[in-house]
Structure 1
Amino acid sequence: MALIRIALINDYEVVVQGLAAMLSGYRDTFDIVELDAGTTVARPVDIALYDTFAATAGDGDEVRTLTREPRASKVVVYSWDMGEPLIEKALANGADGYISKGLAAHELVAALLAVHNGERRVHPIPSGSPAAVVGDWPGRHEGLTQRESEMLALITQGLTNVQIAERTHLSLNSIKSYIRTCYRRIGVSNRSRAILWGIEHGFRPDHTRSTDT
């Protein structure tokens, strides 16, 4: 069976490298031909896997642009947000699949295969199963959760709380709660110091491309 060519897409190098590590045990199934910090694809791939960490959701312009890229046969959104309205918008936006970031590596592989084979488009966490802690993200080794890290990344990018709410589809109260716990973990007391900490610890987007995996 021919290997499935896949590009991993997110603006943060640590995120795409974490995804690559998740899939590294499945080299008999996938050929990771690109790690893209950005939303373009340089070479033909069977699947472009779009990770929404600190990026717009599946209903945003980035996914719409990616689905129009002729070098990407299928586009799959990889997200924590499994709300039905957002999934419907992502699929209407041209996405071929939508997969929860709470799946373990073997479940992610099964989901990608199902999308690739046209068998099933949407893959939430199985009912009754806990969300897996997978992949990597900036600040993980400083004790930040994925959501706290995402809030800090968006703050470091200069977004306001209202803009973060629009991007992540979270309530303002949830965002404020994540930001408060983030401040405690990194030992800062205000937004300016959090931004400085973020700049010093890799929370600015990389915007680089690697095709050597």
Structure 2
Amino acid sequence: MHSKPPVRVALINDYEVVVTGLLHMFANYADRVQVVKLIAGREVRERVDIALFDSFGNLPADSPRIEAVLRNPLVGRTVIYTWNFQPALIERARQQGVSGYLSKTLPARALVAAIEEVHAGRVVVSPAPKAVSPSGGDWPGREEGLSYRESEVLALITHGLPNAEIAQGMYLSPNSVKSYIRSAYRKIGVARRSQAVAWGMRHGFSTDYVRLDPADVEPDPETG
């Protein structure tokens, strides 16, 4: 029997479907993990032991978002939950002060154990995944047959990122990005980028924070 108090964990991602998928992963571990579900787009506003930063729809180069979590005095430790295990990304995350770098291929029991290790004061980097096949959770487009990487590339396209920036941020070759785009387009039945963006907007690829009351979201420094 687990006698320690559960670790308080905030789930951070702008996509409601992603956060809900993580909630399901932790459902059988309520005695070990107490989840604080965030409304998409809000910062952590109550004290938590661990902030689990899900990387879906966020390029690793998007460090200001992670830095904001690290600076939040209500967050004990920050863990990145991702498929991208490029050594340079791991090293940068550790230099920023991240306490864990965990693979999305971890089964729920291993993810919970790693979170407990981080809470105990250890820096945990899980083994690099051999393939991108998340063990749990969810992502936009999954029900339409999109793979995780196809879905993430489509999310970034929906947000207006060009192929070169997607390739650089995801540490993929331009040809790999084009391959994911072609296969995604076939699955969703579009032929042009504008059609893909329109499809993405209709199928949950615009981040959920755009539906919040403006008072709940800090203004974008680029748009005021």
TM-score above 0.5: yes
Please tell me whether the aligned partners of residues 59 and 89 of structure 1 are also in contact (alpha carbons under 8 angstroms). Answer: no
Correspondence for 2:77: 74
Relative to the length of structure 2, the TM-score reads 0.86
Task: Give the letter aligned to residue 153 of structure 2.
Answer: M
1:146 corresponding residue in structure 2:
148
User: Is structure 2 residue 38 aligned with structure 1 residue 31?
Assistant: no
Pick 1 or 2: higher relative contact order, CA cutoff 8 A, min separation 6: 1
Deviation, 1:165, is 2.0
1:9 maps onto 2:12 in alignment: yes
1:175 aligned partner: 177
Return closer, same or farther for 1:100/1:149 CA change in 2, 3 Å cut-off.
same
Question: How big is the shift at 1:169?
Answer: 2.3
Q: Matches of residues 83-94 of structure 1 in structure 2 within 5 Å?
A: 83-94=86-97
- The percentage of counterpart residues that share the same residue type is 49
- TM value normalised by structure 1: 0.91
Deviation at 1:81, TM superposition (A): 0.7
Structure 2: gaps (5+ residues): 213-224
Unaligned runs of 5+ in 1: none
Q: Please give the secondary structure, in 2, of the residue aligned with 1:5.
A: strand
For the aligned residues, what is the CA RMSD? 2.0
**Partner Cα separation in structure 1 for residue 73 and residue 56 of structure 2:** 24
> Once the 2 structures are TM-superposed, how far is the Cα of residue 130 of structure 1 from its aligned partner?
9.0
Q: Which runs of 4+ in 1 moved over 3 A?
A: 128-133
Please tell me the residue identity of whatever aligns with 1:32: V
Q: Note if contact 1:78-1:99 (Cα within 8 Å) is conserved in structure 2.
A: yes
Residues 49 and 194 (structure 1), Cα distance of their counterparts in 2 relative to 1, 3 Å cut: same
Contact 1:4 1:29 in 2 (8 A): yes
Tell me, yes or no, if the aligned pair for 1:59 and 1:86 is still in contact at 8 Å. no
Q: Aligned residue for 2:127?
A: 124
Contact 2:167/2:173 (<8 A) preserved: yes
Partners of 1:87 and 1:43 in 2: how far apart?
A: 27
1:163 and 2:169 matched: no
Asked whether the 8 Å contact 1:11–1:55 carries over to 2, the reply is: no
Change over 3 Å in CA distance of 1:87–1:116 after alignment to 2: same
How many Å separate the matches in 2 of 1:2 and 1:199?
41
Aligned to 1:134: 136
Is the aligned partner of 1:111 residue 2:134? no
Query: How many correspondences in the alignment?
Result: 208
State which of 85, 92, 95 in structure 1 corresponds to 2:98: 95
CA distance in 2, matches of 1:27, 1:191: 43
For residues 58 and 49 of structure 1, the distance between their equivalents in structure 2, rounded to whole angstroms, comes to 17
Who is 2:215 aligned against? Answer: none
1:48 to 48, 51, 60: 51
